[in-house]
Structure 1
Amino acid sequence: MAPSTVISIRRFSAEDVAHLETRGVRFVFAGNEKLDPHGVTKDQFAAGIYALPEEIRKDAFALIFDCFHVTERLLDACPNVRWVHHPGAGVNTGELWTDWDLLARRDVTVTTAKIHGIPISEMIVAYVLALAKHLPQFFDRQRRHVYRGDGTDARLPNLIVDGMTALILGTGNVGAEAARKLKTAFRMTTIGINSDGRPVEHFDETYTLAGLDAALPRADFVITTSVLVEATRNVMSRERIALMKPGAFLINPSRGGLIDEPALVDALREGRIAGAALDTFAVEPLPQDSPLWDLPNVIITPHVSGGRPDYNTAVMDRFLENLDAFRSGRRSEMTGVANTKRY
């Protein structure tokens, strides 16, 4: 009898689970909702699965599980798993990278949820406006009960975002939606960077990484929405941060590994760029002694830009969309498959 169990490290509503069970699939929750997948070891993250009875683990054909935590040990514990549905936006984070060779050897298909375009692009717009309108500084004044400058504060001029230029590294689901919003709402010039320079809707210009250096001095906002792969690790290097114009802002809601963090700190301290909004970091949670905490021109959020009230339902919907194709052996028809490009 074919395996019929899905093991998940995410807890879904009774309604979401019912949609799965009506299709003859048993759902088993084996997660720890207090664990941040970006801040634990692989064995810690999978501990709930290892604790399950062997009968359940052997009956599992799929995991709803962050793919950068999949190990040989995990697949040995669940020997019939042939599908991992990744609920996050990126398949690599920090020092945790997906082991694609292992997955290929074990014939495991990885699908990604692709549900982050709307929430992250909305957060990008929020960052753009907060930086341009100096909202963090005004919030600080509010806490200090300062209505206008008190002798230590200069008057903060509002910037006009309308007609500015946004350079977006990554023209996929998130980047394209961010470009659409910025162009529609603020008539921004949008420049995209992708792997092959292909034209993408809502971008005025697109280039490969080879064109990034020439584009950086033109941008008022540099926004990183790219996946983290070897080609993009530290893509915003010290040298490239130095190419940004002095009044420019850097926004990163994607992966901390895209940016040379010490170089960014230096540029912000020295006023070589105007500010930054960061939702992801080289180490997460962001260490208490990170200098980023105390920089007045930085907005810090704790890796929340992809959040949405229906997050788990959206993850389950994407899983259900692929369920029939997987169970009938038509894996080539599944959508959101990451194995070929490995992101």
Structure 2
Amino acid sequence: NRKQGTVTLQTGLRNFEIIEQLGSQGLVVPPGLCPTPGIAGVTSGGGHSSLSRPWGLVIDNLLEAELVDADGCVLHASADRNADLFWALRGGGGGNFGVCTSFCFRTHEIDTVAYASINWELEDLKPVLKVWQEYTLPDADNRFTPLLTIISGAQSFLLAQGVFLGSAEELRELLCPLLRSGSPNHVFIEEIPWVEAAARIGGSQSGNPEPFKSVGPYVDELLPDEAIDIIERFITNPPTSLVYLLFHGLGGAVADIPTKATAYFQRKALSNMSIYATWNEPEGAGPGIHWVDQFRREMQPYTNGVYINTQDLSIENWPMAYYGGNFERLTRIKAKYDPDNFFRFPQSIPPACGCRE
């Protein structure tokens, strides 16, 4: 609906399908980074995007959701209808309240963007990460959403990427401190079509089906030297064929929305860090899972909470980790819309009362 600046999407659509379809119209809904996840799951957990700092999370652009409840009834949730359910669906995680079948989003006009890709060898991890963090601070330019991937395995390297809503000249100037960090061995800063920039970012994410373990804690403050030492120790001692750490810059428009305005609680985080391990052989599963779990535990003094879209059964106090101070309200909404707890699974939101399992 160009007149209203909205788009209605069925929830089986995947990230890159949406990017391509809307991009051909010069439009965008802030998408997830990976090409293949469905929009329902991405949105339900909040939705970190390569456009998060200028335009917020995916849920911050959601205007209405259609949902089928446990009784087979079709509900519509928006600011005006079932507003409590609409609050819960924006960050309450997938599958807790019903099956979402359609979303209506606010769109943004987009065409050419400035895109940056910078590579370093792994030994530059410390100086690069120290400087990269500065681009997530509240006073950093909100037109730029920074990403940093630290990879260790058969190939080991650092990759900083990001989309900037401005010119390549402005972006190069903005990135001067990062370009002076370590010894970059490849620098690409150009104005390219938005869809191409999204494809480049998606191409650097894990694409093919593979066994893996991951978890995504949040970083609320600049990491001190001792935290970066922990990161270097884990990333340079991979127990499996491939491990990596993805830092996703947040803040900006994400932080402009109050913590209790939606179910998504981690509004004040500077970044999210996704700890990831995969393996080629079945015997790699145990070491890979243990590596991710130990990495998360050692980083706990320097992190706060975990992204609901990276659920982890080893997290003991998961209600606080995923939902913080919003958990109790979520249980009350669960009791209203799914009192029999039909939609349940490990770490699902329980009804506050009236559960009749």
Q: TM-score w.r.t. structure 1 length?
A: 0.26
Question: Which one has a bigger Cα radius of gyration?
Answer: 1
| More strand as a share of residues | 2
- Structure ranking higher on relative contact order (CA contacts 8 Å, 6+ apart): 2
Normalised TM-score (structure 2) = 0.25
